[in-house]
Amino acid sequence: MRAALRSAAMQLKNTLARQVIQFIILIQPIVFATLSYFILRHRPGVDMASYIVIGSGLISLWSAALFSSAGDLDRERRMGNFEYLLVTPTPFETIILGKIVGNTLLGFGSMAMSYLYATLVLRADFAVRAPMLFVLGFVGTLVSFLGISLVLASAFTLSRSARLIVNGMEYPIYLVSGVMFPLTLLPQWAQVIGHLVPLTWARATLQAAAAGLPASFWPAFWGLLGTGALYYLVGRVMFDGVLRRLRVRGDAGVY
């Protein structure tokens, strides 16, 4: 636990110094909040503020998870640290979990940025009607993102092209998670895929809390935790397999 917390603290310091992460946390929420505002402002009867703040914040949270999961491992490999991390007394998975916690906490900065920009600049009327549920939704989102980030980190551990692959993983997830329009616009099969993505449940959870709708909040919250737990289990199994494979092939440091 201590090692994971130390890893998270170190990750926060290192990542904050990276300009691409500064971009994701500070600029990307502004970009997507502006796009959401100008695209959705004609739509009658839609809670635009909720889409602007929650949608654009979650978009940046997902980008932060993707790019830092891929970039961290890529950087460790390039700098020759990767093999050392694999053989330190602290399990590699603990170090990675710490990094993921750090990244996700940073990602929440994007949500704060979305809120500030939407309310101060775009004058969006965003109110949280159930603050306690909103905080609970945040915690659930953090927990759920640990699971999916573990899966991503395991997959990226094997790939030397992770940085490039993630470029194609942003919009497909935005599309099926309903961050800018309801899922009902998608075909049934795409909606099913959407429900396998924690971002979908995080969006539904936070929107329900903001609207003060406990009846909608709880199913979404359990869905959020459920998908998070599922991905965590998959990530654990994947990690064991990936580490075994790296040791057998002996190419952990090949860049």
Partner 1 sequence: MGALLRVSWLSFWALFGWADPAVYVSSLIVGPAFQIVFFTLAGRFSHSGHGPLFYVIGNAVEIAALGGVFALGLILIAERRNGTLGLSLIAPRSRLFLFAGRGIVYLLNSVVTVALGLGVGAWIFGLPLSGANLGALAVAIAAVALSTAAFGLLFAGIGLLLTDVNMVMNLAISVMLVLCGINFSINALPSPVRAISLMLPLTRGAMAARLAAGGAPWAAIWPLVGGEVLIGAVYFALGYVLFTHLEATALRKGTLDLV
Number of residues that bind partner 1 (CB under 8 A): 36
- Contact status: 175 vs partner 1 (CB under 8 A): yes
Residues in region 32-51 near partner 1 by CB under 8 A? 34-36, 38-44
Using the contact rule CB under 8 A, the part of the chain among 90-98, 162-170, 215-223, 231-239 near partner 1 is 162-170
Least distance (Å) between residue 125 CB and partner 1: 18
182 counts as binding partner 1 under rule CB under 8 A = yes
Q: Does 164 bind partner 1 (CB under 8 A)?
A: yes
- Whether the CA torsion 92, 142, 61, 2 is positive or negative: it is negative
244 binds partner 1 (CB under 8 A): no
Instruction: Kindly state the smallest distance separating residue 40's Cβ from partner 1, in Å.
Output: 5
Give CA separation, 220 vs 139, 183, 253, in Å: 13, 14, 41
**Residue 16 sits in the site that holds partner 1 (CB under 8 A):** no
Among 167, 196, 244, 254, binds partner 1 (CB under 8 A): 167
Q: Which two tokens stand for residue 148?
A: 């999916």
Touching partner 1, residues 78-137 (CB under 8 A): 78
Give the residue with the Cβ less far from partner 1, 18 or 195: 18
Which one, of 246, 94, 239, lies nearest residue 154 by Cα?
Answer: 239
Q: Which residue from 67, 158, 145 is spatially nearest to 108, judged by alpha carbons?
A: 145
Pick the closer one to partner 1 by CB: 171 or 222: 171
User: Is residue 195 at the binding interface for partner 1, with CB under 8 A as the rule?
Assistant: no
Instruction: Give the number of C-alpha atoms closer than 13 A to the C-alpha of residue 254, restricted to the C-beta side.
Output: 9
91: left (phi over 0), alpha (psi -120 to 50) or beta: beta
H or E segment to which residue 203 belongs: helix 198-211
Cα(8)–Cα(102) distance, rounded to whole angstroms?
A: 4
Question: Is the distance from CB of 107 to CB of 69 less than 8 angstroms?
Answer: no
Both structure tokens of 215: 């009846």
Residue closer to partner 1, measured from CB, 55 or 223 = 55
Q: Which residues bind partner 1 (CB under 8 A)?
A: 18-20, 22-23, 27-28, 31, 34-36, 38-44, 78, 159, 161, 164-165, 167-172, 174-175, 180-182, 185-186
